[in-house]
Structure 1
Amino acid sequence: MSIPSKDTIWGYLKYKGKSYGVLSAPITDELRERINRCNQEKELLPYTSAPWRYKKEWSLEDGKLYLTKLYSEEFHKEVFGTIEKVFADWVDRMEILIEDRRICKTYQHQGEYLHEIRYIELNFDKGVLIDSYEKSELYTRIDLVNYIERNDRITTLRIDITELLAYLWDDRRPPNDLLWLRIEETIELMISKKEKGGSSVSREKLIDIFKFGDSAVVAHLRGNDIEQMIDSLIDTVTDEVIQIKGYALHIMTGIENSEKVFEQVLNKVHHKIAKDRGIEVMMVKSIEENIRNGELILRAIIGI
């Protein structure tokens, strides 16, 4: 079978206490008609032939698969109407992503890398889970487009601190808010390695940081061109950072001499924003870094 990359996520599934990206089960005409039959009070928003515009949330309850939420990225709202959940008896198989990692360069084409994708295959009999298997595949992919790293990404999320703390404390989130799908993905990425014995930020430390203000920015950066990422991050958040008391950056880079890279992050993000906006960097709360894997968690409190 052909497994899509981690950039192709059709939705999210709560499975054994964790949230996984779903690599299969896109929206279909059959699913839309089924939901409309259940939902007499309100039809779904106009259907698009592009299934990636709909994001779904699934849950497994007593071995049964339910579709619990449906979002339209195009219209930025929930489109599930008043239905609480729908028993997904049309699903016979689902793949959920564990990890998609780049292993090394190949020597066939410029910019081509060998990747390994690990995923769990869930098999159902009319929506009832019958077995599951962990699988992995190797594949190659061109990660450079016009000499720019294709996988470089910057995600910045500005959120109210009370909502963020509610999520960090007990996984509560505002209803009907599409943005929280991305907030969850970024936060869970930041804390996942800590919970597995790695060096990333813990949930408790994030709570401690974000207690100090009423707004926050969470940012996730990844790639090799650190200058481009930092400049883009500054351009993204500078207009809003005046009112922000806390922020967290999760930085992953494949650059050698990562210590120097992290020093650039401190200088360029902290002091450029402070200088441009006339604020003072009160303190760096703490820094945790894993030089071997090229990762940095930077947490700071900014004072006006």
Structure 2
Amino acid sequence: MGILEDISKTIIDASTTLSQDKFHALKRAICMEDNENAEWVLKQILKNYEVAQDIKFPLCDDTGIPHVIIEIGEDREISGKLINQIHKGIELGLNNLPARPMAVIGNEIQRIEQSEGLFERPGMLRPASILIDNVNDESTYKRDISPDTLNVHFLLEGGGPEIRAKTLRVYHKRSFDNVINTACEWLEESLKMLGCTPSIPSIGIGRTHYEATSLLLKSIAYGNLDNQNEYEQKITQRLNETGIGPMGFGGKTTVLGTYLNIGNQRASGVRIVSIRPSCFVEPRVATLKL
């Protein structure tokens, strides 16, 4: 199998298969839930996961925007050819899935106005700019990247969570709690309107809007619901106390867990915070090791 086919298969895996830690988290939530309606919703979500994985069918009609993170060791190289292959492999994967056609036709203005319609082929949906990650990354989700590592992580990011996402400065007042409380307040408001709970919200805290959002995306790629630190657990507990519950039906499970990724900070009165309240079919992530 060539690299284009490998990438195509990985895109399909990302769209149709969820990680074991998320299955574990959902099953724990079902066992703990004492709200009859909420328990029923959680069981239907689990069934959706199992059917999608079994028949390789997208977890959601919104098949998402491809995002790519390349994880590279010091003895490996990235060529322009590889970048082109990633783009072509994504196009092949979206067509083979098949994904929902979402790419807008036209020039800059026509794309904004969506006045010329959509491309029929799903593969015309281009990925976001590629992120590069190496051993020098400093964050909560810092990776132990060996010299021979070359991993390509594919994320499919849906539109609903993007509508409810937010990236803005927070005056930290020399208080970690102040920054986290502000992020939780944003999430509490966004989760009320998300509709597709339970969520796995992601938080990135950095020096710039780009960096904070990059940290958020890395947390989605690297986070693990079976291994949550004390701050992630506290945020999860607080958000579950809102009582929004699965699909807004109430109960104990508004979120299945939290990803919190804190990077470098600058001497300043503000911290840039990015939040994303992922819907219940996310994170949709798969990795190709080269």
Length-normalised TM-score, structure 1: 0.26
Name the structure with the higher strand share: 1
Q: Which of the pair is proportionally richer in helix?
A: 2
Structure number with larger C-alpha Rg: 1
**TM-score if structure 2 supplies the norm length?**
0.27
